[in-house]
Amino acid sequence: MHDRKSHFLPLAAAVGVAALLLYWLRPGQTAAAPDVAASVAADAVLPAEAPTPADAATGDALRALISALTGPDAEVMLEDGLTTLLNQPGAVPNESVLTFANDAAYQAFLGRAAAAGLQVIGTMDGLLAARVRFNSPAALARDLLANPTDLNDIGVNIVVTPPSAPAPESRPGGPQVAVGNNLLRQLGVTGDRRTWGQGITIAIIDSGVAPDPTFGSRLSTLDLGTGLGTSPSSTDGHGTAVASLAAGASPDAPGVAPAASLLSIRVTGDSDTSDLFTLAQAIIAATDAGARIINISMGAYSTTTYLSNAINYAVTRGRVVVAAAGNDQAAQLIWPAADTRVLSVGSVDGAGQQDIFSNSGPQLKLTAPGYMVQAAWLGGQRVLFTGTSASSPVVAGAVAAMLTQNPGMSATEAARVLQQYASDGGPAGPDPDYGNGTLNLGWAMNRNDPARVDTAISSHYFNSDTGNMEFLVQNRSGAAVGGLTFTLDNGGGPADTAVPLLQPGEVFTVTTAVDPMQLAAVGKLTFRTTLTNPPDVATDAVPANNRASSSLTAPTGP
């Protein structure tokens, strides 16, 4: 045991070591994410490369730092630095994840770890990463000093249930509309969809999926060491609900892709929590097992090098990772949804309104129904499932459906199409609350049908910066449409606006000023809108979206 009282100066130096380690290796370290408010181009949706917490320079700097620690106090200094690094909030205690510079260094470590007092409790051979447990960081410090050139990264293992959520955004409250068993109708899905998802595997990285009639024989499981989570006595039906929304087939628990195969990978233990290393392991395992779509309805407010590397492993092999944005009403996404390579999903209710709990952020790609959606549960039960955990598998199922209906399309291309043909929400164009819009699978499936007409009132939005109400008209048809008339009645009688010729996907915004004194006097203003197609336009495929109403309530309080 070291006599800490005799090492005042070396300990002061250790603080500098810790600061350097934290600078290079802190969870969440990443380059700034690109603003998704740009147009939805193929290379902007799921980039082939994305900011990664560590690179070769980080490894060189780490090795140089360890090599520079010499003398009798080197071990104490490094141990104290590691203690500071590894005891961060949300980290699993007495654990580290080590990423090695090459395979020889990785294999050598695995061979000597036990003798060095380090317990290897998990590995990812493809990433040259090992999850290590120890009684004291002194054992890890000794091994690092003895092998200073072996490592490329020292990381923490983050608990997936974050210790605290960011401060919630101030958002106007309002009645939320349940989706119920109307999910498919809200997505614009009609007709025979029995083959949707056939030949496609969706991996469900979650709490485990219990057998249920809605899955038939399409469910398989993969054990990472946390069990399969298929026991009827399990206390958590979360994974079962998630899987049913992606690929359920029964009328009382319908999913989007009822013919898709499901691969359940349980990542939670008895505490119903997980960690980022296990998530990374599951992403690698799902990729290697052939899943083309990987759904993750969980996360944390930190990331790590090895999670980023696992995502890179998947997307460079043509997989699409779909992840829930989080349910904390926060202005940031949880990881892995916050990774720019991930198809991140927020939540809307049965009326297409952003759910008040749904996290927002510049990385958000899509929103999908997630408020009180009917789903499967344990023991054959049916429940109303709420959260971005529900929205994410809806999008995962939509990707699978697109693949079967568009032979030759890649999963990445399917994800891009779903974003390009999404119903605009909020202000015109991509925004942090709705991403590129709300999933509209019916439009995406029929995007190339020039005879299909669907003109829509896409959004009622109050712009607090300008004090104006903005009403979005969107052409979701297969061809350009002209001669539309937009009618607004806000209590003073209807007023018509001629809508210019709109190309497929194009949005036109009608703006009206809101008088704050009038709003304060009456307490609430109601806006009723109607969109009328010209007589020579074919029958509208979705006439219900040609009418919309909303209310703007006067602010209360100071």
**Residue of 347, 389, 391, 423 marked catalytic:** 389
**Residue of 143, 150, 153, 206 marked catalytic:** 206
Q: Rg (Cα) of the chain, in Å, rounded?
A: 26
Annotation says 549 is catalytic: no
3-class SS at 25? helix
Say if residues 539 and 494 touch (Cβ distance below 8 Å). Answer: no
What gap in Å lies between CA 119 and CA 142, rounded to an integer? 14
Residue 360 tokens, joined? 């927002």
Q: Specify which residues 368 forms β-bridges with.
A: 347
Annotation says 206 is catalytic: yes
What gap in Å lies between CA 307 and CA 335, rounded to an integer? 9
What gap in Å lies between CA 266 and CA 234, rounded to an integer? 12
What gap in Å lies between CA 242 and CA 366, rounded to an integer? 17
What gap in Å lies between CA 323 and CA 337, rounded to an integer? 5
Say if residues 326 and 333 touch (Cβ distance below 8 Å). Answer: yes
What gap in Å lies between CA 162 and CA 142, rounded to an integer? 31
* Residue/partner pairs of 415-421 with CB below 8 Å, 24 or more apart: 415/45, 415/46, 415/320, 415/343, 415/365, 416/40, 416/42, 416/45, 416/46, 417/444, 417/447, 418/366, 418/444, 419/40, 419/45, 419/365, 419/366, 420/40, 420/444, 420/505, 421/447, 421/476, 421/505
Q: How many residues does the chain have?
A: 558
Say if residues 259 and 171 touch (Cβ distance below 8 Å). Answer: no
Annotation says 238 is catalytic: yes
**Residue of 96, 207, 238, 275 marked catalytic:** 238
Q: Which residues are catalytic?
A: 206, 238, 389
